[in-house]
Structure 1
């Protein structure tokens, strides 16, 4: 008996991102495989399990092409595995993606649309890099803020006098206790 396997992926380990939207669309599947990992990574445990479980006549159902893969090369490799098992791939939102019929146009569209998805991802990455560069040129600092030297010096001086606890020094200087401990460790105090 042929099965319909759903595949879902979300890009982050952040608990605020949920599978709910995809799950609602894949509710008629016999089994749903879930990956919580970036699509740019090829090592996706649930996808690998799905591909391993596929039998002839089965269908892999996805919500959209970007949930399955972020590169044309990877997408074509996944489709090739699905085809080699005698199964097919269908997308709910990308109606053109349906490998269940032997239509040469399917492979062409798959290649073109996969290429477009790859290009879109690279454009997004490029825009992010440009935005970061512009922000940095305007003085925006990225990453963890550096402790101000004057505050650090005051904290170290107060600590050396042994008149205040680290908690009190943190309140006086506005530095965190972790920063004070880190600076003390660096200085060898």
Structure 2
């Protein structure tokens, strides 16, 4: 049996030495380290090398679960995969992870974690959809609020009817030309939109 460590830092400017020292102190005989790698990626070079190095009966030691997984569902899949391979996962900061997933109790714990993670994902999705539906019902379609308030739209419409250019209107209102053009396109019919926009 070998104790193997894995460390990761998000940017190349960060120093992983503290993690490496903790893992070595915890008994890791070899530590794999990824620099500047996202925890959401499965293609981390040293993570792949670590997985290939592990053998049945080994213990993988990490500082925290977020070092190896960027989402709860990804974490659960990793725990299950390691368990199927006979590798035990141990977190230095999350004692509840030190379970033997090859046993019925260990698999049950992982199953509960999976249900809770899926429930959280579903809840977030449901709340997002409910918020979007409410916004649509209120006449909003999401995204940033337009800089063209009703007052600005009314002013732009009057100035356009007086023959002012898009550029001039935008300068007076203190907004971008594209914002003015979009707002006028919604309020003025194509045949009565006035003179074509001047770019100066």
Q: TM-score range by the shorter chain?
A: 0.5 to 0.7
Structure 2, unaligned runs of 5 or more: 24-30, 185-189
Q: TM-score scaled to structure 2, two decimals? A: 0.55
Change (3 A) 1:134 1:182: closer
Could you tell me how far apart the structure 2 residues matched to 1:145 and 1:115 are?
Answer: 37
Give matches, 1:1-189, under 5 Å.
Answer: 2-6=3-7, 28-29=22-23, 30-33=31-34, 35-36=37-38, 43-46=41-44, 49-54=46-51, 55=53, 56=55, 57-61=58-62, 63-64=64-65, 68=69, 69-71=71-73, 74-83=74-83, 87-92=87-92, 94-99=94-99, 103-138=103-138, 142-146=142-146, 147=148, 149-153=153-157, 154=159, 157-159=163-165, 166=167, 168-180=168-180, 189=197
State the Cα deviation string for residues 95-142 of structure 1 (Å, max 9, x = none): 222245854311211111121121122112212332343354445552
Tell me what 1:163 maps to. none
Based on CA coordinates, which of the two structures has the bigger radius of gyration? 2
Could you tell me how far apart the structure 1 residues matched to 2:136 and 2:181 are?
Answer: 30
Asked whether the 8 Å contact 1:59–1:87 carries over to 2, the reply is: yes
Q: How many equivalent pairs are there?
A: 166
Comparing 54-63 with 136-145, greater Cα deviation is found at: 136-145
Could you tell me how far apart the structure 2 residues matched to 1:96 and 1:143 are?
Answer: 40
State the Cα deviation string for residues 11-33 of structure 1 (Å, max 9, x = none): xxxx9xxx99xx97886233444
The offset of 1:5, in angstroms, is 0.7
Choose between structure 1 and 2 for higher RCO, CA contacts under 8 A separated by at least 6 residues: 1
State the Cα deviation string for residues 58-78 of structure 1 (Å, max 9, x = none): 51425247972333xx54542
Change (3 A) 1:66 1:84: same
Q: TM-score scaled to structure 1, two decimals? A: 0.57
Tell me what 1:12 maps to. none
